Structure 1
Amino acid sequence: MIRLTWRQFRAPALAGLAGLALLAAYLVHLGRAVRHDQDIYLSRCRAGGDCARALAQFLGDYQNTLLYAAGLLALVPALLGMFWGAPLVARELEAGTHRLVWNQSVTRTRWFAVKLLVVGAAAAAFAGLASLLLTWAASPVDRLAGDRFSTIVFGARNIAPIGYAAFAFTLGTVVGLLVRRTLPAMALTALVFTVVQFVMPNVVRPHLMPPVTVSRPMTAEAINDARALGSLTGTPVVKGLSVPDAWVSDVSELRTADGRPLATDRFDHCFLDPPGTGATGTFGDAAVCLGRLDLHVRLSYQPNRRYWAFQWLESGIYLSLSGLLAGFGHWRIRRRVT
């Protein structure tokens, strides 16, 4: 059965190996370029130059490139689920070739389990190798940037992509088992996996471990350090607050000294028509006006030292979901598929 599975899987496997080889060549080239340029920028520091400026230039040279590479790697699990998982069973059910195997000595559950394990292991290995290469290439930039928890970066480093690939592949296989048509199964796999990948970082991940919560005074200087002020709905919020070596997972609305939310009309007055003071900074007079109101926010964050705990927890969730899907597929093919 393993030999039969391999013979059926040869063409997708060889295509995957070719793609992995191209990706590996690019990432090795990129990693060597990153390290070469890092040495150049560090030599400027040792020569008495402006280290902060040199390192900022180094980050600027590579952050966007690595962000695109991480986005590309984020597509890998979805593609594995669509092109390796969805057709695995759906194509056989669609063509009726499963009957030939089931009429031999191979049971349907063994047929399903071998297919799932052999091709699933290949999918996990593919994603793991791609993640290993990108993690190595990006490590000098990641150490300086300190944004390991950002949505795209977190999902493209270390062990998380292995869990994503295992889940996407198993999802595609079970969807194909249910739908019994290859193209609809591919489309549905992509849709469901995309929804799960949106929900995990935005809804689940912030609550995997209890965050550290602090109160931060919103002085004029603190407001000017924010990335944005206000929202489309007019809610009195500040966005883009940061904590050194941490991932900020939640920031409350602006609150007054007694803990109540700032009234919208007072926020609008400072934001839209602040008294002229000639202040500079990102928000200028608006920051000065709000800073005089003795405001604060409740800020929740996850320290970077918890990074590996989050990697293991999230990977464990995806692997557990994969196991549940595999168990459901085993039950379904034994009881319902004819």
Structure 2
Amino acid sequence: MTWLAWRQVRTQLLVTGVALAVLAGYLLLLGTQIRAGHHDAVASGSALREFQSRFQGRVYLLDALLLVTPALFGMFWGAPLVARELETGTHRLVWNQSVSRHRWLVVRLAVGCAAAAAVTGLFSLLLTWAASPYDAVAADRFTALLFGTRNLAPVAYTCCAVVLGALIGLLLRRTVPAMALTALLFAAVQVAVPTVVRPHLGTPVHASQPMTADVIRNLSFLGAQADVEGLSAPNAWVVSNSKLLTADGRTVDLDRYHGCLSGQFDVMAQCVAALDLHVDVAYHPGGSYWRFQWLESLLFLASAFALAGVALWRIRVA
């Protein structure tokens, strides 16, 4: 049964293997270039921003490719896994032999998940290695794009996507609609988890952040009502922050604050900093990164097992 399952995905494996070999060669080349560029930037002492901008486009493009890889496996490997058999009627040949429906589905899911996870894992391993000097300079590995494309998380995403696709194919019994729905649902999951679930996988640390001129210059938004957006810290994940507060914890006097919001941005930053303000911040420190990786990976793997359980229950009446 396992041998048959491997034979049924051999064409997919061959095409994916060729694509992965080409991608691996490029990642090895890119990793060498990034390390050479980082060495030169550190040696010069003042070119880290230029180093980051030089490789940002290529790293982001690879991040985007890896981020959609689990959904692609769910569409093209998971959705047809059962739907194609039901659509063409070939499932009857297997189920009328000595192999039970449950065993047939378990083997198909195990082989599909193992192969897809191996491909995604190698992609993630090579990208994590290649981009590691860049990531160290960027210091933002908690962002949705980087967190979902490094280390363990992509492998767990892929297993979940493949099982989700198989379950949807089993329910719809049509390959193309199952592929479309798998892509749609898993895209929704990839948006919902970083914004709704991930912040609650750990208890944030609370602190006070003085609003110096340098901090203000790096904000993405400074509003007329003393709102602050885009506050960041190296390798940390800021999940919330207050409005601009005075030393005694009250919201800044808006008349004094508005008096600074004119002229050049650098002058404005200096003026606001002179008001001796701070914000209260809730954040996850960089040291909790691996805890989040493990917890989110276990969450997706548990979801994959739960979806597989539903599929095993449903296939009894397929």
- SS of the residue aligned with 1:144? helix
Counterpart in the other structure of 1:134: 127
Q: Cα distance, 1:225 vs. partner? A: 3.9
Q: Cα distance, 1:258 vs. partner? A: 6.4
Unaligned runs of 5+ in 2: none
Q: 1:288 aligns with which of 253, 271, 279?
A: 271
Superposed CA deviations along residues 241-288 of structure 1, whole A, max 9, x for unmatched, are 12234221222334566656679xx48x955xx36886x544x44873
Do residues 106 (structure 1) and 99 (structure 2) align?
A: yes
Q: Are 1:249 and 1:302, in contact at CA under 8 Å, matched by a contact in 2?
A: yes
Question: Which has the higher mean CA deviation after the structures are superposed, 104-113 or 251-260?
Answer: 251-260
Aligned-residue identity in percent: 51
Do residues 183 (structure 1) and 166 (structure 2) align?
A: no
> Given residue 32 of structure 1, which amino acid in structure 2 is its aligned partner?
T
> Given residue 23 of structure 2, which amino acid in structure 1 is its aligned partner?
L
> Given residue 188 of structure 1, which amino acid in structure 2 is its aligned partner?
L
Q: Cα distance, 1:317 vs. partner? A: 0.5
- SS of the residue aligned with 1:114? helix
Q: Cα distance, 1:228 vs. partner? A: 1.4
Any residues of structure 2 matched to 1:114-153 within 5 Å, and which? 114-153=107-146
CA RMSD of aligned residues (A): 2.4
Q: Cα distance, 1:298 vs. partner? A: 2.1
> Given residue 14 of structure 2, which amino acid in structure 1 is its aligned partner?
L
Aligned length: 318
Q: 1:213 to 1:107 in 2, by over 3 A?
A: same
Question: Which has the higher mean CA deviation after the structures are superposed, 236-245 or 173-182?
Answer: 236-245
Counterpart in the other structure of 1:80: 73
- SS of the residue aligned with 1:244? coil
Counterpart in the other structure of 2:189: 196
Query: Take 1:192 and 1:261, find their aligned partners in 2: how far apart are those partners?
Result: 42
> Given residue 36 of structure 2, which amino acid in structure 1 is its aligned partner?
H
Query: Take 1:276 and 1:151, find their aligned partners in 2: how far apart are those partners?
Result: 32
> Given residue 101 of structure 1, which amino acid in structure 2 is its aligned partner?
V
Q: Under a length normalisation based on structure 1, what TM-score does the superposition of the two structures give?
A: 0.86
Counterpart in the other structure of 2:308: 326
Do residues 171 (structure 1) and 164 (structure 2) align?
A: yes
Q: Cα distance, 1:22 vs. partner? A: 1.5
Query: Take 1:216 and 1:40, find their aligned partners in 2: how far apart are those partners?
Result: 33
Q: 1:225 to 1:291 in 2, by over 3 A?
A: farther
Q: 1:241 aligns with which of 231, 247, 257?
A: 231
Q: 1:235 to 1:7 in 2, by over 3 A?
A: farther
Query: Take 2:91 and 2:197, find their aligned partners in 1: how far apart are those partners?
Result: 39
Question: Which has the higher mean CA deviation after the structures are superposed, 86-95 or 137-146?
Answer: 137-146
Q: Are 2:83 and 2:169, in contact at CA under 8 Å, matched by a contact in 1?
A: yes
Q: Are 1:176 and 1:185, in contact at CA under 8 Å, matched by a contact in 2?
A: yes
Q: 1:193 to 1:63 in 2, by over 3 A?
A: same
Superposed CA deviations along residues 164-207 of structure 1, whole A, max 9, x for unmatched, are 10011111111111111111101110111011101111111112
Counterpart in the other structure of 1:251: 241
Query: Take 1:123 and 1:276, find their aligned partners in 2: how far apart are those partners?
Result: 53
Counterpart in the other structure of 2:279: 297
Q: Cα distance, 1:321 vs. partner? A: 0.4
Question: Which has the higher mean CA deviation after the structures are superposed, 237-246 or 315-324?
Answer: 237-246
Do residues 310 (structure 1) and 300 (structure 2) align?
A: no
Superposed CA deviations along residues 219-258 of structure 1, whole A, max 9, x for unmatched, are 666434422112xxx7642111122342212223345666
> Given residue 241 of structure 1, which amino acid in structure 2 is its aligned partner?
L
Do residues 21 (structure 1) and 21 (structure 2) align?
A: yes
> Given residue 152 of structure 2, which amino acid in structure 1 is its aligned partner?
I
Q: 1:170 to 1:277 in 2, by over 3 A?
A: closer
